[in-house]
């Protein structure tokens, strides 16, 4: 009888592990095999069997604790009779489980024998979902988190407020649910509305799901711009006093938080305190992007604030607000993150030292922030990190504003343009961002995210030559099919 050729593990894995040694033979994976997890890996005892769809109780797969692995590092050895995963901590063990699970989808359950040693290139490997413009259900968010974790992504940036809707429940602020969470759909004439808050229970459910997959959740509250929904609910937070409306249009709006109003600061402190209590991870994103200063120029309260603080430009007023908001985040026990506009107007006031800068308008902001001593997350819209952009420049292709081809993503380097070793070390990593102005359902979101998000994951875990990455795109289609993910399958450039 002729032997069945088994494809090598090195040809089936994405991201490619740091080192992999192919061996002869294969392990036949099926739902009758068993797994034993080291008792010190407490959450994996339940999670691993469920993810692999196998049973506890035996040692067909053995997950062991062993010191000496780097952060998130692991080893995976697949023999003909047994699979062994070793890691120093539970995070590394989970990464090993994810690699094994990935291989089950690409190998048709005939796992080629191999020996793997693996660890990541970057600490921050994430994705951002805009749930203000489009409300995505907790079930759908969990589906995305699961697929993202399969490719070793470890940050879920949850964009929860913007001009078109507020999604965070806050005790003591009833107008957020009554007004800020809903927008009138202007394309209809019958006054119908769209949107809702997430409940605290839903947020905790999504967070727990992410934590079980060793993914940190980063909530974002927009300040001081992109706040039309908040102003509609509490018009006295604006410079003119309103009336304002939750926007059903896209763009940048002049209505921003009044920097001279102490009630705005009191609200933000309470909001940040409540958000910090609800979200247990270390970060809160404070926005800071695309904030016009037009309203401040003619606002007596803002001009008085500038005079009191010795500020000569409205840009400096935003810097003043950034410092105040960062102090609130610190007081709540968290670390602030802001879009790269937070760098502007800081010549006299500076920027809080622990503020992480997320560079989206190209890489210049990230380079400047790193040179100024700040840690940086590089997600430039110019280099393939914006997944609401089209896959190709084709009028028949879905997408908004620009092009982020799969080839662009495969060529992305978060360290490009950074010269000194110290500056390069301040780059934590990157993330893919999906803004949802033109997205109306989860299937469309999947099409925009995949396989680009998978390709970005490789750039952050163990980047390969772009040609090698692009050759493996069919593997990603196979996983998408297995997980019922609607993905783009068109030209790569």
Give catalytic residue positions: 162, 226, 290
Q: Classify strands 155-159 and 216-223 as parallel, antiparallel or unpaired.
A: parallel
Q: Is 186 exposed, middle or buried (0-12, 13-18, 19+ CB in 10 A)?
A: exposed
Q: Residues, the chain, total?
A: 493
Query: Reduced to 3 states, what is the DSSP secondary structure of residue 343?
Result: helix
Owner of token pair 């299937």: 443
CA pair distance 96, 320, nearest whole angstrom: 45
CA pair distance 404, 448, nearest whole angstrom: 10
State residue 246 phi and psi, 5-degree precision.
Answer: -70, 120
CA pair distance 355, 375, nearest whole angstrom: 8
Give bridge partners of residue 165 from the DSSP assignment. Answer: 162
DSSP result, 388-414: TSBSSS-TTS--SSSB--HHHHHH--T
Nearest to 360 by CA among 305, 401, 398, 329: 401
CA pair distance 325, 329, nearest whole angstrom: 6
Query: Reduced to 3 states, what is the DSSP secondary structure of residue 155?
Result: strand
């Amino acid at each position: 009888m002729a032997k069945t050729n088994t494809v090598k593990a090195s040809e089936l894995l994405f991201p490619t592990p740091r080192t992999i040694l192919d061996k002869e033979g294969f392990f036949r994976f099926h739902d009758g095999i068993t797994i034993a997890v080291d008792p010190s890996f407490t959450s994996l005892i339940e999670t691993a069997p469920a993810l692999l769809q196998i049973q506890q109780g035996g040692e067909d797969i053995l997950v062991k604790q062993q010191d000496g692995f780097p952060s998130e590092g692991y080893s995976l050895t697949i023999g003909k009779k047994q699979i062994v995963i070793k890691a120093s901590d539970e995070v590394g063990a989970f990464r090993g489980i994810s690699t094994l699970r990935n291989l089950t989808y690409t190998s048709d359950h005939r796992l080629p024998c191999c020996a793997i040693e693996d660890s990541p290139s970057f600490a921050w490997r994430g994705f951002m979902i805009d749930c203000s413009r489009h409300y995505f259900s907790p079930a759908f968010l969990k589906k995305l988190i699961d697929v993202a974790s399969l490719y070793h992504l470890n940050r879920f940036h949850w964009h929860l407020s913007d001009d078109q809707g507020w999604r965070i429940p806050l005790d003591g602020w009833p107008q957020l649910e009554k007004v800020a969470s809903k927008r009138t759909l202007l394309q209809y004439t019958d006054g119908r509305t769209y949107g809702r808050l997430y409940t605290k229970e839903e947020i905790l459910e999504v967070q727990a799901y992410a934590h079980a997959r060793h993914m940190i959740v980063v909530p974002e509250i927009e300040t001081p711009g992109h706040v039309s929904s908040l102003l509609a609910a509490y018009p006295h937070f604006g410079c003119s006093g309103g009336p304002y409306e939750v926007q059903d249009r896209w763009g940048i709006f002049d209505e921003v938080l009044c920097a001279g109003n102490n009630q705005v600061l009191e609200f933000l402190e309470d909001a940040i305190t409540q958000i910090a209590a609800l979200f247990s991870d270390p970060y809160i994103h404070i926005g800071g992007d695309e904030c016009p200063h037009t309203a401040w120029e003619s606002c007596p309260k803002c001009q008085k604030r500038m005079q009191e603080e010795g500020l000569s430009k409205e840009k400096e007023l935003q810097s003043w607000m950034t410092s105040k908001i960062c102090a609130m985040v610190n007081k709540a026990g968290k670390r602030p993150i802001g879009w790269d506009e937070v760098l502007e107007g800081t010549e006299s006031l500076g920027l809080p030292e622990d503020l992480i800068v997320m560079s989206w308008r190209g890489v210049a902001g990230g380079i400047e922030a790193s040179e100024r001593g700040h840690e940086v997350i590089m997600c430039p819209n110019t280099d393939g990190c914006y997944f609401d952009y089209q896959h190709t420049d084709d009028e028949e292709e879905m997408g908004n504003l620009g092009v982020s081809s799969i080839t662009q993503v495969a060529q992305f380097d978060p360290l490009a343009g950074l010269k000194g070793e110290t500056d390069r070390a301040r780059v934590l990593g990157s993330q893919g961002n999906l803004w949802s102005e033109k997205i109306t359902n989860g299937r469309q979101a999947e099409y925009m995210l995949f396989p680009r998000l998978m390709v970005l994951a490789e750039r952050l875990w163990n980047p390969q030559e772009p040609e090698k990455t692009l050759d493996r795109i069919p593997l990603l289609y196979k996983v998408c099919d297995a997980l019922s993910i609607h993905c783009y399958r068109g030209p790569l450039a």
